[in-house]
Structure 1
Amino acid sequence: MSIGNSPEDERPFEDVSEEAHPSIGHALRQARIAAGLTVDDVSAATRVRIAIVHAIESDDFAPCGGDVYARGHIRTLAKAVGLDPEPLLAQYGAERGGRPAPTPAAPLFEAERIRPERRGPNWTAAMVAAIVAVVGFVGFTAFKGDSDSGSKEQVAEGVTSTKSKDASPSAGTGKPTDSKPDPTESAIAAAPRDKVTVQVSAVDGRSWISAKDHNGRLLFDGLLKQGESKTFQDSSEINLVLGDAGAIELYVNGKKIDEDFRPGAVERLTYRKSDPQVG
């Protein structure tokens, strides 16, 4: 059983001095208890680990891993318990000498990068592929003569159909129709219902991103330049870390995620097949 499952048991003894000038952790803890939430509830809603929630409520920010992470956790926890995060962030900065100088995104997250494992050759898969290739070659040779004429007719029809579609002029202009889909249509078309599909686009600048599947396997880890996009799919879950969330536009399962991410903000996000649950 995790600590903090009973908000009523966590109510502290009255301390007039702390209530007059509450610390960041005390304010977050009191707001959580007033909202009737346990530490487990807050951790599940924010995806911040239980141990880190306990540490922040005790004004211990060392487990956060640095000021940038600490500020992101404070903002996330404050929103979860119904507090305005800006006064808490200002208090955090005042207690630690102000906001730290901007740090390049890639070196900041070097510790979180996972080196891909070296795997030996898969001889079983190689043997299966060789057998399939041999069987396919024999079948192709046996039926090549019978299917050659029909194949030529099908290819000719396909080329004709494609050219006629591409050459069709738009109404009243006499110019070929531009068939390139916009990003929204592409995201919707690439979103099968039995999987989770996440499209990440750097629209307002560049951002370092990391993406993992439900098994924790690294799908991508690097810098996404402005104008670039990446699409990730998994059978159940995609986990993201955004180094500069304010520069990113997200489409999840074909729908745009309208989150008010601030420039330079670090966000850890998890999306599943049922997301987005609203909108």
Structure 2
Amino acid sequence: MSIGNSPESPEDDRNFPADDRDSIGRALQQARVAAGLTVEEVSASTRVRAPIVQAIEEDDFSRCGGDVYARGHVRTLARAVGLDPAPLIEQYDAQHGGRPSPTPAAPLFEAERIRPEPRRPNWTAAMVAAIVAVVGFVGFTMFNGTDPGTGGAVAEGPAPATKAGPTAPAPAKPKPVKPATTKPVPSESAIAAVPADKVTVKLTAVGDKSWISAKAHDGKLLFDGLLQAGESKTFQDDERVDLILGNAGPIELYVNGKKIEDTFESGQVQRLTYTKGDPEAG
């Protein structure tokens, strides 16, 4: 008589994965290491706390606060390390009971549909009534200002002289209004006019996105995040700018007004430092 489950018990089959794919946490960890990023750097770029990043890489989703937040963290971390999040989300749904059903929004739309629209005042009718009143007042004033004695003929003698009324003052000419002068807004593209006493670095993502980090000479973080395709960022410091390019291939780089001709490969991680003067010495 044996005690416990036999080796052929169905309970043991549940300990084996359904397929030979890596777990979600292991896939994220391997991609992060391949990109040359630390847990702290991924945490800073995604705003996901470092303990949660470490827990997810160990396939522990209990600290995420629920399936909705866990799916969001997996999607954010996958994009930060250069993975397609769709297969990982599909794998998570298969392991945790499927995708959560969306909340029906029909009651909200019904409430918006039956809400009465506020009645707007009829400004056109009010303006027309004001114009008619002004025209009527002006006509009435001009009609009452005529002298009725001037209309009859004089039988004998010269016509009586009429007293000249006071001359109405000429309306004052309005003073010309000077148009407001607007100061031109400097453009980031004006990189040729960089100050000589600073180090100026401009990065542009061409054709693809890239995670970048930029720090000043005193360690102050100037930027940490994703630079989408077509976007540009410009950084300045009095002494030095330190860069980390998570995907250096699509980055077009200008330093102190001069284009850097180095050819970076896609997926390559580059750590660069530039100072004032000729960027070739950076």
**TM-score (structure 1 length as normaliser):** 0.37
More helix by proportion, 1 or 2? 1
Computing the radius of gyration over CA atoms, which structure comes out larger, 1 or 2? 2
